[in-house]
C-alpha cells in the first residue's frame, strides 16, 4: 500500500539535509571549463572556452563577485612549467544576493589564442593542452582551479616518420683521414614527414674493436622536437675522438621513431697527417652579451679566413658546467666570458644554426627556436670550420635570454 504522506515527508527531509549541507555564507564550491574547439598543428588557433563556477550558501545583504585575474595555456595543466603562457583578460561576474541557502552558477565565455609552437610541442611530446584559471570570490582568498582541455586537430597532425638519413663530413666526403688529435665533426642530413619528438644517439667504435666485431659506446644523445613546416633537419655530431690511430666508426642510431635504424660513417686517424692549426679568435658583433631574444634579433660576426661553414651553437647555462667543458677559444668582448680549462672533448650543443661561409649573418629559425626553452638563459658562440671539417675559429661565449 502506498503512503503519500510518508513519501512527501521523506522528500522534505532530503531537501532539508541538502540545504543544511550548503555553506552558511556564499562561497565557490566547484568550477569547470569546456571547449569544443581544437588547436591546429602548425598554426595559431582562436578557441572559445566556457567556464562554469558554482556558488553555494547565503549572501543576503549584497551581491557576490566571482573573479579570475588571468588564464594560462599549459601542457598537462602545470602552470609552473616553463612552457606555460599567461593569456586572457580578467573575468568578473556579480551574482545577486540570496537570503535563503541556494546554489547559483556564474557562466563566462572567452576567446583565447593557442600559439602554434604550443600545438606543435604537444604533438611532438604527446602531452595535452589545457587552459587553466583560478576563480575566487571577494569573501575568501582560497581559489578554486578550473581546467579546459584543448584537443589537437587539423593541420599536419601526422606522427613523425624519418625517410632518409645521410652522414657526411662538412666538405661532403663520406670518409676521412684525420691527424692525431685533430678536431672535426660529422653532419647528419635527416629528411622526415609529420611532426614529433626525435630521439637518437651518436655512438663511436674505436680501433680496438673495428678490426673485428665493432663495439660502440655512446658519445651523446639527441632530442629534437620536429615541427610542421620543416622537412629537413641538419644535426652536428660531437667532436670526433682522434687520439688513437686506426679505423673509427661513427654511428647515428635512432631510438624514436624507427628504433632499429642506424647509419654509419668511417674515418681513420693517422699520426703522419699534419695537425690543424690552433683555432683563431672569431669576433661576434651581435647580439650583445646578456641580450633578450626578440623576433627581429640577428646574429653577426667577422669572417674567418678559409672558413667553409659557420655554426652558431647554443648551450644551456649551468653554473660550473659550460665554462668547465668548452675549450678556451675566442675574444673577450664586453660581457663575454671564457671557460676555465680546455678539456679533451667539447660539450654537445642544445641547438645550432649552420651557415655557409658566404654569409656572416643569421637569425633564429622557427625550428631552432623550438629547441630553446622559454624562461632559460643560454650561452652561445659562433664557430668556423674549414672544408676538411676542422675547427679553425670560435668566438667567446655570450648569454642570450629566451623570454617566457
The string of pLDDT tens digits covering residues 62-120 is 788 899 988 988 887 666 666 678 888 899 988 888 877 888 899 999 998 888 778 87
CA-wise closest residue to 233 among 198, 199, 189: 189
For residue 205, what is its C-alpha cell?
667504435
| CA pair distance 381, 289, nearest whole angstrom | 11
CB 40 within 8 A of CB 153: yes
> 230 falls in which pLDDT band (50, 70, 90)?
low
For residue 349, what is its C-alpha cell?
650543443
| CA pair distance 254, 264, nearest whole angstrom | 12
Output the pLDDT for position 326: 34
Cβ within 8 Å of residue 234, ≥6 positions away: 187, 188, 189, 190, 354
Q: Kindly report the pTM of this predicted structure.
A: 0.46
The DSSP string of 299-341 is: EEE---TT-SEEEEEEEE--TTTHHHHS-S-S---TT-B--S-
Query: Which pLDDT tens digit goes with each residue over 115-155?
Result: 877 887 777 677 888 999 999 887 777 889 999 998 876 55
User: CB count, 10 Å around CB of 272?
Assistant: 8
The DSSP string of 232-266 is: EEEEEPPPPP-SS-EEEEEEEEEEESSTT-EEEEE
Count H helices, E strands: the chain?
A: 5, 29
Amino acid at each position: 500500500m502506498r503512503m503519500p504522506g510518508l513519501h512527501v515527508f521523506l522528500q522534505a527531509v532530503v531537501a532539508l539535509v541538502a540545504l543544511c549541507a550548503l555553506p552558511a555564507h556564499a562561497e565557490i564550491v566547484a568550477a569547470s571549463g569546456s571547449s569544443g574547439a581544437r588547436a591546429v598543428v602548425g598554426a595559431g588557433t582562436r578557441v572559445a572556452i566556457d567556464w562554469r563556477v558554482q556558488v553555494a550558501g547565503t549572501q543576503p545583504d549584497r551581491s557576490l563577485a566571482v573573479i579570475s585575474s588571468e588564464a594560462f595555456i599549459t601542457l598537462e595543466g602545470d602552470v609552473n612549467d616553463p612552457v606555460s603562457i599567461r593569456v586572457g583578460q580578467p573575468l568578473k561576474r556579480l551574482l545577486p544576493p540570496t537570503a535563503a541557502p541556494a546554489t547559483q552558477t556564474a557562466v563566462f565565455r572567452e576567446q583565447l589564442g593557442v600559439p602554434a609552437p604550443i600545438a606543435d610541442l604537444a604533438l611532438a611530446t604527446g602531452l595535452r593542452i589545457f587552459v587553466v584559471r583560478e576563480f575566487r570570490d571577494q569573501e575568501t582568498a582560497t581559489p578554486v582551479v578550473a581546467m579546459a582541455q584543448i584537443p589537437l586537430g587539423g593541420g599536419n597532425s601526422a606522427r613523425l616518420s624519418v625517410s632518409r638519413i645521410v652522414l657526411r663530413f662538412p666538405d661532403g666526403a663520406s670518409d676521412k683521414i684525420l691527424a692525431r688529435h685533430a678536431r672535426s665533426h660529422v653532419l647528419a642530413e635527416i629528411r622526415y614527414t609529420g611532426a614529433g619528438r626525435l630521439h637518437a644517439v651518436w655512438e663511436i667504435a674505436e680501433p680496438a674493436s673495428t678490426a673485428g666485431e665493432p663495439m660502440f659506446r655512446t658519445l651523446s644523445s639527441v632530442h629534437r622536437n620536429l615541427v610542421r613546416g620543416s622537412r629537413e633537419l641538419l644535426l652536428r655530431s660531437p667532436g670526433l675522438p682522434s687520439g688513437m690511430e686506426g679505423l673509427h666508426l661513427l654511428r647515428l642510431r635512432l631510438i624514436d621513431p624507427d628504433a632499429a635504424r642506424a647509419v654509419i660513417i668511417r674515418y681513420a686517424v693517422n699520426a703522419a697527417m699534419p695537425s690543424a692549426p690552433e683555432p683563431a679568435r672569431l669576433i661576434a658583433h651581435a647580439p650583445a652579451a646578456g641580450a633578450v631574444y626578440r623576433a627581429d634579433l640577428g646574429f653577426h660576426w667577422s669572417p674567418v679566413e678559409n672558413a667553409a661553414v659557420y655554426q652558431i651553437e647554443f648551450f644551456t647555462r649551468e653554473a660550473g658546467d659550460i665554462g668547465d667543458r668548452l675549450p678556451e677559444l675566442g675574444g673577450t668582448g664586453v660581457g663575454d666570458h671564457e671557460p676555465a680549462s680546455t678539456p679533451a672533448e667539447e660539450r654537445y650543443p642544445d641547438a645550432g644554426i649552420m651557415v655557409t661561409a658566404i654569409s656572416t649573418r643569421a637569425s633564429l629559425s622557427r625550428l631552432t627556436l623550438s629547441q630553446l626553452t622559454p624562461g632559460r638563459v643560454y650561452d652561445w658562440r659562433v664557430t668556423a670550420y674549414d672544408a676538411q671539417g676542422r675547427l679553425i675559429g670560435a668566438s667567446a661565449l655570450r648569454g642570450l635570454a629566451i623570454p617566457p
